[in-house]
Amino acid sequence: MKKKIFILLLLILMVSGCGKKKEELVLVTEAGFAPYEYYENGEIVGVDIDICKRIAKELGMELKIKDVAFDSIINEVKTKKSDIGAAGISHTDERAREVDFTNNYMESKQVLVVKKDSYLKSPSMLSDEKIAVQLGTVADTYLTEKVPTVKIVREKKFLAAIQDLIDDKVSGVVMDEVPAKELITSDMVILEEPLVIDYYGMVVRKGNKKLLSIANKVIDEMKENGSIDEALLEHMGVKENVSKKNSLIDKFYYSVIYDGRYKYIIEGIINTIIIAIGAVILGVLFGGIASIIRNINGNTGKLKILNLLAKWYVTVIRGTPVILQLMIIYYVIFKSAQVNIVLVGILSFGINSGAYVAEIIRAGIQSVDKGQIEAGYALGLPYRYVMSKIVIPEALKNILPALGNEFITLVKETSVGAYIGIIELTKASDIIASRTYDYFFPLILVALIYLLITLVLTKVFNTMEERLNHARD
């Protein structure tokens, strides 16, 4: 019997060992920077991805890719949420104080993009002009430090900066030359004289000498054998023929059907709804507890410390932006934890919603006629019974419409989840726009989806209110 048990355990260990996944190398990037990183066939590809795949192979690991806002990349690596960052990152002293840079793998020319009929003929003519850049890039830093008289318009995406130029909101765009060639339209030109020539490197956490050494080895080998140049040429050939996308049907096809882009929208809808539902459940839980504590204190004078904490919770959460709360929870509270970002979204929005729900419930309770409460006490009913049988049922009628509005608001607030890499509806539109080079149609499409979700939820809550009113009649 012992022998059989030993053999069985040995087989289990062998099977579990065979099924063990490879350790992951987590790359963090901002996948709207073709040809370095961009979406194709539902996957993030590009020059940086090719290099990182070689690094992962050298380490005997699987490459996992996270797509976040560009200005979050350094913090992702610094807080150990990702192992390596790459998105055309230029070496600066400020960044080097936070993370370690690999050897340079690509020369970067920061150029000025203007319309063909522009009077701007040289970067030296930029004084007092309104110029668009991508937030956090070397172009942003250069103009801020070297040309302080320029009025800088900081966009989250290069494509948004180009759109500003199309709409004549700015006189020009300063960006890297390679993606500029991908993004410019037929009525734009790239001025020959660069503002500054820089070099791209990847970033790793300070002290991670093994990864830094392997990354440098791979980069040097790929530069020497021409692999990086080959990858650059290969990925520069992926630009779609934008001129063909003129009709509404064409725009729908290239934004939704082509390359399986509907998958981003579906994932965005699912994540948006999951986060909103999870957050409203937590919000009702946190808000309900806070409102009960405050109500008990108001009626009995008890729970003074808990009441003070509940007041501070409501004040702090309502007094700070939801995006700031999201960033604090993800980058500070879960600083070193490998936590699911959707769960972080649920927790963040749930905590935020709880503060508002607490006031909604408290206002609903206070709206109940005091005479009914006093009548309950006069009949000798205990406080708990008065609340559960008299106050709460009456207050629910007033609370439900406001809770419905809070849920609808939560659905729309999930759009800030893109800052930590959650693919929700707004992020889905960004991904599609980064490949179609058209912001308008994806944004209108996503706006219509939000509107449809809102209309459905409004109908559901209106039906619930009607049934509640009929039940009370």
Distance CA 256, CA 424 (A): 15
Question: Is 197 or 335 the better-scoring residue by pLDDT?
Answer: 197
pLDDT at residue 14 tops 60: no
Distance CA 225, CA 220 (A): 9
Supply the pTM of this predicted model.
Answer: 0.65
- The predicted pLDDT at position 263 comes to 87
Considering 34-38, 182-186, 210-214, 330-334, the range whose residues carry the highest mean pLDDT is 210-214
Quote the percentage of the chain above a pLDDT of 70: 87
pLDDT at residue 195 tops 80: yes
Characterise 175 by phi-psi region: left (phi > 0), alpha (psi -120 to 50), beta (else).
beta
Note whether 24-102+201-235 and 262-472 share their fold: no
What class is the 24-102+201-235 domain? alpha beta
Question: Is 366 or 348 the better-scoring residue by pLDDT?
Answer: 348
pLDDT in tens, 360-404: 888 777 777 676 666 666 676 776 766 766 777 777 777 877 888
Mean pLDDT of 312-326: 92
Taking the domains of the chain in order of start, what are their residue ranges?
24-102+201-235, 106-199, 262-472
pLDDT at residue 10 tops 60: no
Question: Is 63 or 258 the better-scoring residue by pLDDT?
Answer: 63
Contact assessment for residue 201 and residue 91, using Cβ atoms and an 8 Å cutoff: yes
Q: For residue 161, what are its two tokens? A: 């900066």
pLDDT in tens, 233-263: 787 653 444 444 467 787 788 788 877 788 8
Cβ burial, residue 423 (10 Å; 0-12/13-18/19+): buried
What class is the 106-199 domain? alpha beta
Count helices and strands (H / E) in the chain: 19, 12
Helix (H/G/I), strand (E/B), else coil: 335: coil
pLDDT confidence band for 101 (50 / 70 / 90): very high
Distance CA 307, CA 299 (A): 12
Instruction: Report the length, in residues, of the chain.
Output: 473
- The predicted pLDDT at position 371 comes to 67
Minimal CA–CA distance to 35: which of 140, 153, 166, 178?
178
pLDDT at residue 11 tops 60: no
Contact assessment for residue 71 and residue 98, using Cβ atoms and an 8 Å cutoff: no
**How many CB atoms sit inside 10 A of residue 312's CB?**
10
CATH number 1.10.3720.10 given to 262-472: yes
